[in-house]
Amino acid sequence: MTATVDTGLFGPYGGRYVPEALIAALDELAQMHQELKNDQSFAAELSHLHKTYSGRPSILTEAHRFADYCGGARILLKREDLNHTGSHKINNVLGQALMTKRMGKKRVIAETGAGQHGVASATAAALLGLECVVYMGEEDTKRQALNVARMRLLGATVVPVTAGSRTLKDAINEAMRDWVTNVETTHYILGTVAGPHPFPVMVRDFHRIIGDEARAQVLELTGALPTAVLACVGGGSNAIGIFYPFIDDKSVRLIGLEAGGDGLETGRHASAISGGRPGVLHGARSYMLQDEDGQTIESHSISAGLDYPGVGPEHAHLYDIGRAEYWSITDKEAMEAFSLLCRTEGIIPAIETAHALAGAIKLGKELGPKATLLINLSGRGDKDVQTAAEYFGMV
Amino acid sequence: MATSLERVLHQAKNENRAALIGYIPAGFPTVEGCKRAIDVLIDSGFDAVEIGYPYSDPVMDGPIIQEAADQALRNGVKAKDVLATLHHATERGAAAVVMTYWNPIEQFGVDEFAEAIAQAGGSGVITPDLSFEQAQPWNESAARAGINTIYVVAPSTTDERLRKVTGITSGFIYAASLMGVTGTRTSVSHSAQELVARIRQVSDLPVAVGLGVSTPEQAREVATYADGVIIGSALIKELLGKDFDKGLLGLQELALSLAAATKSANREVRGVQ
Ligand SMILES: Cc1ncc(COP(=O)(O)O)c(C=O)c1O
């Protein structure tokens, strides 16, 4: 039977804009993703790893003291920071690593910005006995030196990328070049819901467990759906993961928080939707930062994991149809929220995640005590201690 | 009406030889320098030139073309410079096409870009990251403008897909010699000849082989079985990081020997047949 490989379009977004050499591998991946949806043994294998290895289901924490700074709104934190390796990234990586095994490939490559996806990939590779190479912009290897060391401890090879802006987008370019060359033996574990079809749907499907769990947890705790769901948006994987199961709940506002860097008006930011326009980057059409000729503009953010000029195509579509909102949060607002969560709840969040917390402070003040805000606490801040300590003048 | 590219390929076929096609990014090493390099290629016997549109995220390209494109972008090369360079080549009487990643076309306007290529005398556009599934708007605009749509196929392309992709291709089919990115290689992958043979099963269009073809010996080898030989990184390497005038001399020497090798190849081999 020849599978009809669907084209992976979300309205006018998504699709495949890639070298022809990759099409066969993408077709194989898309077909496997379809087949595994109904494969009980795969589901059981993944679910076993979630339970016994990464620590799912992740808990829901009510942030009472932090709520005082959010206009008294009820604040519920979905604790993806408690997953093994410290962020939501492991959900996707375990899924793709298991797929790699099924494809009979022995080598995985990954790109990483903050290093969380790289660490998760190195971890899964160690667990499943796969060779692992992680591409990381040279700039990010400096910002996130601790995570470089973690990847190396886990047995992965970290390749600093010196092309272009030396950040996440260039790491993705380099990973694609490796993949084009070694596609017969290698699987590319793309770390977010961007890239060519089937990555945006496949990565979403591995992360929707966040929203599935959270929806049930919120209903059990409060007896109702939340007023809004908030998540930070780099490529958009933690956001789509928690949004997706709420898409048909029309009363629930979905709000993605993009990195505003020095502020949208300065042009130094990473807000692809709030500050960009549609174009093609890394194999898919979506919103992106670009000049009038379509050259990608370098993004800026204090957060390495959000420092990306593009965004996943499903977010572009949710924005266009008005189902989700995207706000821009500056470095300063994010760091204030970061500090506040540390001091009110005893939780050090990732700086990426702090953008979602800053969004909750704004929305809570607007809506007041009747609102319940569900926030995806996508990762923990251990990796950011150096950056934060420098930011606050503590070292 | 046939494009100049189609006429040149037809003529090479009549002369029982492969056409020689050279790639250079617009604006490299400078906008004017690129035009002079193109003159050298034409005067040395290249049949056609591909003008690269430098792009910020060239995932198909290895270090040499990345560096050249980067240099061009740092020089501030814009769409108008790419078109002016194309115009320069066609005014010199060469068959010329633009090779570009997709986003610059989309931002320029799909219809507008096709029309601008035709206005500059260009024969067509090579679109290495425009997948078959996404190609329809471009094919329609290109058809209206009367220019060729040149697509790349790879060793991993299935026979079924070869049929589809060659079905929307015109001018020539770009056969990627290997699985990988652009760059110089010490030998031409054997997968190139296999791919050309598979393409011949499904299409009568001329087939040109590119990616990694670097030396006169490799060009001669490819010219024994393909209708076109595409040289990119090796030409650029002559100019990269060198004094421009010295670089041009090196480029001329390489270009002349590539032309001689390509032209000698088919006579020997096909003469025997
Ligand atoms: C903790 C954390 N949150 C969010 C992100 C951003 O990625 P995405 O938008 O795909 O969730 C990252 C990326 O590194 C991260 O480490």
Q: For residue B62, give the CATH number of its domain.
A: 3.20.20.70
The angle formed by the CA atoms of residues B106, B111 and B115, to the nearest 5 degrees, is 120
Instruction: Name the catalytic one among A78, A87, A111, A333.
Output: A111
- Residue at A235: amino acid letter: G
Residues B63, B80: Cα–Cα separation, whole Å: 25
pLDDT tens digits along A223-281? 999 999 999 999 999 999 999 999 999 999 999 999 999 999 999 999 999 999 999 99
CA of A378 to the centre of ligand 1 (A): 7
Q: How far is ligand 1, taken at its centre, from the CA of residue A174, in Å?
A: 20
Q: Is the pLDDT of residue A131 over 90?
A: yes
According to the model, what pLDDT value does residue A11 have?
96
Report phi then psi at A149, rounded to 5: -65, -40
Show the tokens assigned to A17.
Answer: 């804009």
Helix (H, G, I), strand (E, B) or coil at A83: coil
Q: Identify whether B91 is a catalytic site residue.
A: no
Does A334 or B1 have the greater pLDDT score?
A334
Q: What is the residue-averaged pLDDT of chain A? A: 96
User: Exposed, middle or buried by CB within 10 Å (0-12, 13-18, 19+), for A148?
Assistant: buried
Percentage of residues of chain B with pLDDT beyond 90: 92
Give the CA-trace dihedral at A67, A72, A74, A78, to 10 degrees.
Answer: -20
Read off the pLDDT of residues A146-155 as tens digits, 9 standing for 90 and up.
899 999 999 9
Nearest Cα to Cα of residue A343 among A388, A379, A383:
A388
Q: Which of A58, A93, A96, A116 to mutate to test the pocket of ligand 1 (most atoms within 8 A of CB)?
A: A116
The mean pLDDT of A159-174, rounded to a whole number, is 92
pLDDT band at residue B272, thresholds of 50, 70 and 90?
very low
Of A20, A281, A294, the CB nearest to B157: A20
Asked whether the predicted pLDDT for residue A1 surpasses 60, the reply is no
Task: Tell me if residue A250 is catalytic.
Answer: no
- Mean pLDDT, range A158-185, rounded to an integer: 93
Q: Which residues of B touch A23 (CB under 8 A)?
A: 131, 154, 156-157, 161
Token pair recorded at residue A208: 């929707």
Query: Taking CA B7 as the corner, what is the angle to CA B6 and CA B9, rounded to the nearest 5 degrees?
Result: 65
Tokens at residue B224, please? 């024994």
Q: Is the pLDDT at B195 greater than 70, yes or no?
A: yes
Distance CA A79, CA A238 (A): 12
What per-residue confidence (pLDDT) applies to A167? Answer: 86
Give A384 Cα–ligand 1 centroid separation in angstroms: 13
Contacts of A285 in chain B (CB under 8 A): 106
pLDDT digits (tens, 9 = 90+) for B37-65: 999 999 999 999 999 999 999 999 999 99
Cα of A256 to ligand 1 centre, how many Å?
Answer: 12
Structural domain range at position B211: 4-272
Q: What strand order describes the sheet that includes A13-14?
A: A9-10, A13-14, A284-288, A277-281
d(CA A272, CA A261): 12
Confidence band of B187 (pLDDT split at 50, 70, 90): confident
Which pLDDT tens digit goes with each residue over A301-326? Answer: 999 999 999 999 999 999 999 999 99
- B179/A21 touch (CB, cutoff 8 Å), yes or no: yes
Q: Tell me if B156 and A176 make a contact (CB, 8 A cut-off).
A: no
pLDDT band at A2 (very low <50, low <70, confident <90, very high): very low
Arithmetic mean of pLDDT, A283-294: 98
Q: Where residue B268 falls among pLDDT bands split at 50, 70, 90?
A: very low
Q: Do the chains contact at A17 and B130, CB–CB below 8 Å?
A: yes
Can you tell me the mean pLDDT for A63-83?
A: 98
With contact defined as beta carbons under 8 Å apart, do A314 and A200 qualify? Answer: yes
Q: How far apart are CA B189 and CA B165, in angstroms?
A: 22
Three-state DSSP state, A227: coil
Q: CA B90: distance to chain centroid?
A: 15
Chain A residues with CB inside 8 Å of B62's CB? Answer: 177
Q: Any residues with CB less than 8 A from the CB of A322 and at least 6 apart, and which?
A: none
Determine the pLDDT at residue B273: 36
Question: By the CB < 8 Å criterion, does A3 face chain B?
Answer: no
Contact with chain A for residue B163, Cβ under 8 A = no
Q: Count up the domains in chain B and report the number.
A: 1
Question: What sign does the dihedral A377-A383-A389-A390 (CA atoms) show?
Answer: negative
Residue A390: helix, strand or coil by DSSP? Answer: helix
Average pLDDT score over residue span A173-179: 95
pLDDT given at position B266: 61
Q: Which residues of A touch B153 (CB under 8 A)?
A: 20
Q: For residue A62, give the 3-state DSSP assignment.
A: strand
Write out the DSSP string of chain B: ---HHHHHHHHHHHTTS-EEEEEEETTSS-HHHHHHHHHHHHHTT-SEEEEE---S--TT--HHHHHHHHHHHHTT--HHHHHHHHHHHHHTT-EEEEE--HHHHHHH-HHHHHHHHHHTT--EEE-TT--GGG-HHHHHHHHHHT-EEE-EE-TT--HHHHHHHHHT--S-EEEESSSS-S---SS--THHHHHHHHHHHH--S-EEEESS--SHHHHHHHHTT-SEEEE-HHHHHHHTTS-HHHHHHHHHHHHHHHHHHHHHHHHHHHHH-
pLDDT attached to residue B52: 98
CA A319 to chain centre: 17
DSSP state of A275: H
CB-based contact B128 A281, cutoff 8 Å:
no
Which of B56, B102, B133 lies nearest to residue A295, judging by beta carbons?
Answer: B56
A92 pocket-lining for ligand 1 (C-beta < 6 Å): no
Question: Confidence band (pLDDT; 50, 70, 90) for A15?
Answer: very high
Task: Note whether B131 contacts A15, CB cutoff 8 Å.
Answer: yes
Catalytic residue check, A89:
yes
B158 to chain A: nearest residue by CA?
A24
Give how far Cα B267 sits from Cα of A296, A304, B47, B193, B230, Å.
Answer: 47, 58, 17, 18, 19
Catalytic residue among A58, A80, A89, A383: A89
Alpha-carbon distance of B130 to B53, in angstroms, equals 14
pLDDT digits (tens, 9 = 90+) for B85-142: 999 999 999 999 999 999 999 999 999 999 999 999 999 999 999 999 999 999 999 9
Helix axes B110-119, B136-145, angle to 10 degrees: 30
DSSP A352: H
CB-nearest partner of A17 from B102, B154, B158:
B102
* Domains present along chain A, CATH in parentheses: 9-51+89-199 (3.40.50.1100), 56-86+207-391 (3.40.50.1100)
Helix axis angle, A199-222 relative to A23-37, nearest 10°? 30
- Write out the DSSP string of B63-98: HHHHHHHHHHHHTT--HHHHHHHHHHHHHTT-EEEE
**In A, residues 170-229, which contact B (CB 8 Å cutoff)?**
170, 173, 176-177, 180-184
* Sheet containing A107-112, strands listed edge to edge, beginning at the edge strand earlier in sequence: A157-161, A131-137, A107-112, A186-188
| Residue closest to B92 by CA, chosen among B145, B48, B32, B31 | B48
Smallest CA–CA distance from B73 into chain A, residue = A295
Give the closest of A19, A285, A293 to B59, CB-based: A19
DSSP A296: B
Neighbours of A31 (CB within 10 A): 15
Is B56's CB within 8 Å of A164's CB? Answer: yes
- Return the best residue to mutate from A204, A306, A307 for the ligand 1 pocket (most ligand atoms within 8 A of CB): A306
Q: If pLDDT is split at 50, 70 and 90, which confidence band does A114 have?
A: confident
Q: Which of residues 236-295 of A touch B (CB under 8 A)?
A: 279-283, 285, 290, 292-295
Residue B134 forms contact with A (CB below 8 Å) = yes
Distance CA B73, CA A197 (A): 29
For the cut 50, the answer to whether the pLDDT of residue B271 exceeds it is: no
User: Which residues, including other chains, have CB under 8 Å from residue A250's CB and lie 6 or more apart?
Assistant: none
**Which of B57, B129, B156 minimises the CB distance to A183?**
B156
